[in-house]
Structure 1
Amino acid sequence: MIDILVYLFENYQDLDAQPGSEALAQSLTEAGFDDGEISFALDWLDGLHSSQIADFVCSPRSLRIYTEEERRRLGSECLDFVIFLEQAGVITPALRELIIDRGLALDEDEVPIDKFKVIVLIVLWSRDQDLEPLIVEELLSSPDDTPLH
């Protein structure tokens, strides 16, 4: 599924400009993706599109306590990355919650950091956030410095 998200990012300037679900599924099939992965990716994207996030303000002294499931499935590496992005001003608390939600929506017991970074990229892209080239490069690179695409 992550490969499909990277494919969409690389081939569509605007997530909202992509074709409807049926046409997109056909396009992804023609690109060589598996039907099961396509179905899961489209469901995941529907969840992203239907997510209503209300922007809220947190005090700089606010503390986000992660649930046991969040700590187990996302692990310290992914959660530390979220904290870093929030402290660097790249994401808001509301985007943090959406990123965590979409990370937990993956069909994996433990989400690897390279996949989680793609989730972050797609969430930022879907919310029309300014994506600096260095941020995109960081989000599309794996721990061993090989690009995911």
Structure 2
Amino acid sequence: MFDILMYLFENYIHSEAEVYGEQNELTDELLRAGFNQDEIYKALDWLEQLADLQSSDKYPYLNSKPESATRIYTESECHVLDVECRGFLMFVEQIGVIDSTTREMVIDRLFALDKKFISLDDLKWVILMVLFNVPGKEHAYAQMEDLIFTEPASVLH
């Protein structure tokens, strides 16, 4: 499913190409690209649920915005998100790329991937997808793009 999300993001959303209006047309395009129909439906549902996260009626926990709260991960969350991923989430929150609400949206979408382990690269792409879909987060999206695509400067010895 994650491969489909990446395909859609890179070929339609991120490149600002026109996205098909009908779900059937998009499904047909993804089938022609070689993706499994069940996985296509899961990916489209994942995107629909991401859009639903904007609704405070369905997700009231996203309404609270504590100024200085520390996220405590459950044991099951720690099994899926290793120390590196949890540290990166803390880092992007501390530098202002995400806030507590978008962090929870990211965690929600990560666990909806239904993967046993989330890599740091997967995490970065999910953060980017979430920021792309949250109105008013254009600057944060650009910052996250810089974090993903900018090559680190080489160290002089």
TM-score bracket for this pair, using the shorter chain length: 0.7 to 0.9
Q: 1:138 to 1:34 in 2, by over 3 A?
A: farther
2:144 counterpart (107, 114, 135) = 135
Q: Can you list the C-alpha shifts for 1:44-86, whole angstroms capped at 9, x where unaligned?
A: 11221222354433223x2221111111111212111111111
Query: How many Å separate the matches in 2 of 1:47 and 1:82?
Result: 21
Counterpart for residue 116 of structure 1: 123
Aligned residues: 139
Counterpart for residue 111 of structure 2: 104
Larger-gyration structure (1/2): 2
Identity, % of aligned positions: 37
Query: How many Å separate the matches in 2 of 1:21 and 1:96?
Result: 28
Query: How many Å separate the matches in 1 of 2:17 and 2:75?
Result: 32
Gaps of 5+ in 1: 142-149
Query: How many Å separate the matches in 2 of 1:94 and 1:16?
Result: 29
In the TM superposition, what is the alpha-carbon distance from 1:19 to its structure 2 partner?
Answer: 2.6
Q: 1:34 to 1:137 in 2, by over 3 A?
A: farther
Counterpart for residue 12 of structure 1: 12
Give the superposed CA RMSD.
2.5
After superposing the two structures, state which structure 1 stretch, 108-117 or 7-16, moved more: 7-16
TM-score under structure 2 length normalisation:
0.75
Higher relative contact order (CA 8 A, sep 6+): 1
Contact 2:93–2:99 (8 Å) recurs in 1: yes
Query: How many Å separate the matches in 2 of 1:6 and 1:138?
Result: 17
Gaps of 5+ in 2: 57-61, 151-157
